[in-house]
Structure 1
């Protein structure tokens, strides 16, 4: 009997459209989908996956691998506004998991993040830490991880999702590209961050509302200038369809 495919983790900068991508994975119906499990674990001290309650990153990886091997393939997405030092010391993250990454042009992501959380620190915008995880995965595996750009995703959703699925060993399901609007119970605690996805029925690029940007706000310009090199390094490897 062949081994089960590895669980998939999508690491993303905040406001990169990663929740919309997760919504597609959820709509498939054949995956155990975990929404920001490591973030929730860090903030709440616990997380529930497939009916199992975990209280540590080691325990969460235990459950992800168990569910993946015995029940359904696991897809998890998480964001890099938090850091996860114990997780990056666990070799199973590199050996037993497919780590993928989502970026978005910094000025758009940073403007959107600032509108939601104007008190965010420099590190919470997430590009530098996303690059650190990417480097850790590449160093441990000797392979360049898969990178997808949220702007590319909304520009050509089916092409990008199809290419992503092919790379991680999932069948592409075109019917999963559309869904009924509505909030999801597994992101209830961070509900306000996902209102646009909840109100949508598919991936559509929308012009941003009126808000501060790095062009209008010196604080945001400094943040964008700091994170741009990390985005550029990751964008060099992004999936092009």
Structure 2
């Protein structure tokens, strides 16, 4: 039976570079934020690029698109829970058909990064609250705490983190998937402007150690509000990082 892996993340969490590892593996069909197509259109205020009109635009349509793909191959899909929160949190059948893994990043870092790309993002788009909601749903559904990765650990020790993830998923660790050419995979074209660093990378790298400039949050009062709201949900999930 083919596997389906759902990577649930929040914006600016390094989820795209983790997705790139699964693109490079070659043994998964990879979908990049398919549920964004029910949350946005090419006319939405959020920055987008080459819109993919081949994807369904309803929750049920996107879900069936993924499940149909699972019939022919292993599937990896990465998405943000806030894109489909109301539907996802009651769809236990869909969640039960996949391995659900979660990726978090310290909210000050992700909020500042998000602000650079989309300064007018609404509070729910930060994503930690929605991610925590689905984390709780999966915990109750399975009776066990889901697998959580901290993005800073991924950046600092990518091979260790990916090897451990592969063990958890019961898939082979493939060394060749840890490096790649600088290019934009087809899956990223709709949101290409969000993934400039990932597109120009050749592997997962750890940025130079530096203190988060928290003064940026104070320069923009809205950012401080977003941080204060979401940091509790980050802290709760961070207790369970692998």
TM interval, short-chain normalised: 0.7 to 0.9
Q: Distance in 1 between matches of 2:231 and 2:39?
A: 27
Q: Distance in 2 between matches of 1:163 and 1:189?
A: 31
SS in 1 for 2:76: strand
Partner of 2:165: 164
TM normalised by structure 2 equals: 0.87
Q: Distance in 1 between matches of 2:57 and 2:224?
A: 38
CA contact (8 A) 2:6 2:76 kept: yes
Q: Does 1:18 align with 2:11?
A: no
**Structure with larger RCO (C-alpha < 8 A, sep 6+):** 2
Partner of 2:64: 62
- Mark the CA change 1:126 to 1:55 in structure 2 (over 3 Å): closer, same or farther: closer
Matches within 5 A, 1:67-86: 67-69=69-71, 71-86=72-87
- Mark the CA change 1:145 to 1:41 in structure 2 (over 3 Å): closer, same or farther: same
Partner of 1:38: 35
Q: Distance in 2 between matches of 1:180 and 1:210?
A: 32
Partner of 2:99: 98
SS in 1 for 2:31: strand
CA contact (8 A) 2:11 2:127 kept: yes
1:213 to 216, 230, 235: 216
Q: Distance in 1 between matches of 2:195 and 2:139?
A: 30
* 1:202-225 deviation digits (Å, cap 9, x = unpaired): 011235899973254432222111
* 1:27-60 deviation digits (Å, cap 9, x = unpaired): 0011000000111233249978xxx853432233
**Moved beyond 4 Å, runs of 4+:** 45-48, 207-212
Query: Unpaired runs of 5+ in structure 2?
Result: 43-50
Partner of 1:107: 108
Greater shift after overlay, 205-214 or 183-192?
Answer: 205-214
Q: Distance in 1 between matches of 2:102 and 2:198?
A: 19
Greater shift after overlay, 103-112 or 58-67?
Answer: 58-67
TM normalised by structure 1 equals: 0.88
CA contact (8 A) 2:81 2:130 kept: yes
Partner of 2:129: 128
Give the CA deviation at 1:157: 0.2
Q: Does 1:27 align with 2:24?
A: yes
Greater shift after overlay, 126-135 or 164-173?
Answer: 164-173
Partner of 1:118: 119
SS in 2 for 1:27: helix
CA contact (8 A) 1:115 1:211 kept: no
Query: Unpaired runs of 5+ in structure 1?
Result: none
Partner of 1:232: 235
